[in-house]
Structure 1
Amino acid sequence: MHKKVEKKLFNLFTGELTATILFIIVWILYLRTYDWGPAYLAALPTIYAFFLLEFILLQGSCYWYLKWRQVKNKDFTHLPVKQLKVFALFKGLNLLLIIVGFVLLIVQLIQMPVYFYLYLFVFLFALIEYINYFHIRLSYMSAGEIKEFIQQKGFRSSKLAKELKDL
């Protein structure tokens, strides 16, 4: 059981980190490869949404890394209070950045509607990741997890949300 949990946590932290790095690489490749790239991808609101997404993904990667390190040391408790306070700070900062993102969403729709859909897609991706980490677990990867989700008849709090609640 211990090795199974350790492997899952390792996959979560490396997966989030890999996604973060690959998104940056793909973003840069699109900027350089396609004529439309700079106009859409280098627009300030779109860069903002992309930064927000990357920032949240990095937080997730850090959280799973810390949990993996704990389990590797056979520690199945919550993260230390000091680390949880950092994640509580991230949660508040993310919320502030998301509010700014909603303002940019409105500005984007009014001033640059041609770029609106790309911004909306990236911003919603960031918002979903925020919710998935800090509030409600939205990701279910394996058949067993999907079966568990159906049996529990609804969403449950994310692992980080549970730990922050006890802070």
Structure 2
Amino acid sequence: MKTKLAKRLSYLYTGELTATIAFIFLSILVHFTYPSLHLYHLISFCVSFFFLEFLLIQGTFYWYTKWKRLKHENTSITPIEVVKRMKGFMKWNVLFIIITPFTFIVDYLRFSDRLPFNGFLLVGFIYLFAILEYINYYYYQLMYDNQDDLAHLKRTKRLKRASLSKDFDRLH
């Protein structure tokens, strides 16, 4: 069981880290391949993309901490200091969720009649993806990529609470 859990935690933290790095290169590639999107000129892109990367780094940190603790201390229980730090990150995430729509408005006003619509649309998808990642980390597991998760979903017909959400219960 420990080996299976260690592999799962390793998969999760390396996947988050890989996505963090890959998205940076992907954004550069898209920027230079499709300059008409004007991604790097959109404030909404910069804020949405930073928010997404910030979330992925949080996920990497969280899963790595659980993996490291399992390897070295033979328990995957998240240290309370880490849970508190994640609770602090949660406040920053909410701030990003609130601020980002205003950056869309600023971009709309800045570009008015020459708004790069496709770039604007792509940024909207990035923002939506970031919100889904936030929900996935802090409230409900949205990704079901293994047999155990799928069996739970099929059996209960409900989304699982996020691991971090369960950790927050320990703060009260």
**Same fold per TM (> 0.5)?**
yes
Structure 2 Cα separation of the partners of residues 40 and 87 of structure 1:
30
Q: Deviations over 1:5-29 (max 9, x none)?
A: 0011001000100011000011112
Structure 2 residue corresponding to 1:146, chosen from 142, 145, 150: 150
Give the drift of 1:150: 1.6
Structure 2 Cα separation of the partners of residues 42 and 150 of structure 1:
44
Give the drift of 1:108: 4.7
How many residues are matched? 165
Question: RMSD over aligned Cα, in angstroms?
Answer: 1.8
Q: 1:138 to 1:109 in 2, by over 3 A?
A: farther
Compare 146-155 and 49-58 and name the one that shifted more.
146-155
Which residue matches 1:82? Answer: 81
Residue ranges of structure 2 left out of the alignment (5+ in a row): none
Structure 2 residue corresponding to 1:161, chosen from 158, 165, 170: 165
Structure 2 residue corresponding to 1:124, chosen from 105, 128, 131: 128
Residue 117 of structure 1: SS of its match in structure 2?
Answer: helix
Compare 53-62 and 101-110 and name the one that shifted more.
101-110
Q: 1:142 to 1:40 in 2, by over 3 A?
A: same
On the 8 A contact 2:43/2:103 being kept in 1, the answer is no
Which residue matches 2:63? Answer: 64
Q: Deviations over 1:118-141 (max 9, x none)?
A: 121000010000000011111111
Residue 35 of structure 2: SS of its match in structure 1?
Answer: coil
Query: Where does structure 1 differ by over 6 angstroms across 4 or more consecutive aligned residues?
Result: none
Residue ranges of structure 1 left out of the alignment (5+ in a row): none
Residue 141 of structure 1: SS of its match in structure 2?
Answer: coil
